[in-house]
Amino acid sequence: MKHTSALLEAAGAPPPDWVGLGGEVLAAAGVETRADPTARAAMGGQGVLGELGFWRAVLRRAAEALPGCDAALLVDAPALHVPLARIARRAGVPSLHHIAPQYWAWAPWRVKAYRAAVTRSLCILPFEAAWFARHGVSSEYVGHPQLDHLVAVPAPPPEDPARRAIALLPGSRAAEIRQLLPLMLRAALQVRAPQTPLLVLQQDARHAAAIEAILQGSPARLSIGNLHGELARSRSALAASGTVLVDLLHQRLPTVVLYALQGRVRTLLSSWLVTVPHFAVTNLLAGEEVLPERAFPAADPPPTAELASLLERCHRDEAWRRRCLAGLERAARRLGGPGASRRAAGHLLELAHPKVGSGPHSPA
């Protein structure tokens, strides 16, 4: 928002009026909110049928706000925003979807409906735009928005002797934590030396009680809200696959990456639906398995000894670490640098006011 307003101001255009879907944070930023999709999480699960009325109301209120808008900015959440893009198209309002969904990774046939819905799609990984272009989607690479925040985050050298800890990052969802944290803890305890700090990292305290119950009697310590401070003390990690891998890449931290497949049907279909050789974004960027990764049915995790062996290599095998760190450097170079938010704002401005102009779009 602030980048779009700044670009309009620089071009001599009036500041925009924002109408949108969101909660208190968005309202505090000056957006006239018409509905709050985030309220669904606070209301508790009611099953698929119980959810339909809520989401129909959200889409209806969004549709009511579209007439008179110059453009629709749709951020992530394709399950909500692809239907909303269709509504915007029927209303004659161009839509910009930031961030493009990872159809290239699994169930790629969904791109047909996506192409028919969105006006333009913005990608955060360098190889995505070419894939979408091959499938007829107007798409541009703008870079990863997380890098806009990480540019100011210090990252000590990977071989700094002060980096001694083992970091466990079991994800942010309750089911994921229940499945992964005990497995991570058992593996880490086999690798940890007596004076090696063992850290479980969370961004907030939502699951603190459940995590403390799992850690009871172990030397591991829960740390909340100091992600990069603790990663800067760490020499190796066990992590659930997700956005946090960008943080780990910023810190050049050798990591074993885990992904637990939920449900028997999803497990059976995974080999058919998944179309990429790796699931960890770091490995996709590097073009090879730089970080050891293991996907497994939640009910059938890999043996503790296997994970401990992989973590031991991350923590102590100097020759392997040198190769890993070289691969992490390649991945970081390919991911690029900051500026994604401003470039995305340029695309939004171009759709909304093509005569105003928008400046550079692509990462340097």
Alpha carbons 305 and 187: distance in angstroms, whole number: 7
Q: How far apart are the first and last CA of the chain?
A: 22
Residue pair 120/138 in contact (Cβ under 8 Å)? The answer is yes
Residue 261 to residues 7, 26, 76, 180, Cα–Cα distance (Å):
43, 33, 22, 11
Residue 360 to residues 146, 217, 271, Cα–Cα distance (Å):
19, 55, 40
Side-chain half-sphere CA neighbours of 127 within 13 A: 14
Residue pair 182/214 in contact (Cβ under 8 Å)? The answer is yes
Region 228-256 average pLDDT = 97
Q: What is the pLDDT of residue 255?
A: 98
Could you give the 3-state DSSP secondary structure of residue 73? Answer: strand
Q: What is the pLDDT of residue 360?
A: 56
- Please spell the DSSP secondary structure of 151-208, one letter per residue: TTS----TT-TT--EEEEE--SSHHHHHHHHHHHHHHHHHH--TT--EEEEESSSTTH
pLDDT greater at residue 118 or residue 16:
118
Region 19-25 average pLDDT = 86
Buried b (16+ CB within 10 A) or exposed e, 130-159: ebbeeeebebbbbbbbbbbebeeeebeebe
Question: How confident is residue 221, by pLDDT bands cut at 50, 70 and 90?
Answer: very high
Question: How confident is residue 328, by pLDDT bands cut at 50, 70 and 90?
Answer: very high
The β-bridge partners of 140 are: 122
User: Longest Cα pair distance anywhere in the chain, in angstroms?
Assistant: 65
- Name the region of 310 (left: φ>0; alpha: ψ -120 to 50; beta: rest): alpha
Q: What is the pLDDT of residue 48?
A: 46
Q: What is the pLDDT of residue 33?
A: 85
Q: What is the pLDDT of residue 280?
A: 93
Region 283-311 average pLDDT = 94
Of the candidates 158, 153, 202, the one whose C-alpha atom is nearest the C-alpha of residue 315 is 158
pLDDT at residue 268 tops 60: no
State how far Cα 340 lies from the chain centre.
14
Q: What is the pTM of this model?
A: 0.87
Q: What is the pLDDT of residue 7?
A: 59
Quick: pLDDT tens for 49-91: 557 788 888 888 888 888 888 999 999 989 889 999 999 999 9
Quick: pLDDT tens for 175-191: 999 999 999 999 999 99
Region 283-310 average pLDDT = 93
Q: What is the pLDDT of residue 45?
A: 47
pLDDT at residue 174 tops 70: yes
Question: How confident is residue 274, by pLDDT bands cut at 50, 70 and 90?
Answer: low
Q: What is the pLDDT of residue 62?
A: 86
Region 318-333 average pLDDT = 97
Q: What is the pLDDT of residue 208?
A: 97
pLDDT at residue 43 tops 80: no
Cβ partners under 8 Å of residue 137, min gap 6: 100, 111, 114, 115, 118, 121
Question: How confident is residue 107, by pLDDT bands cut at 50, 70 and 90?
Answer: confident
pLDDT at residue 97 tops 90: yes
Q: What is the pLDDT of residue 358?
A: 52
Residue 108 has what DSSP assignment? G
Query: Residues 142, 145, 148, 150: is their CA dihedral positive or negative?
Result: negative
pLDDT at residue 329 tops 90: yes
Region 284-310 average pLDDT = 93
Q: What is the pLDDT of residue 20?
A: 84
Region 139-143 average pLDDT = 96
pLDDT at residue 266 tops 60: no
pLDDT at residue 312 tops 80: yes
Q: What percent of the chain has pLDDT over 70?
A: 87
Question: How confident is residue 118, by pLDDT bands cut at 50, 70 and 90?
Answer: very high
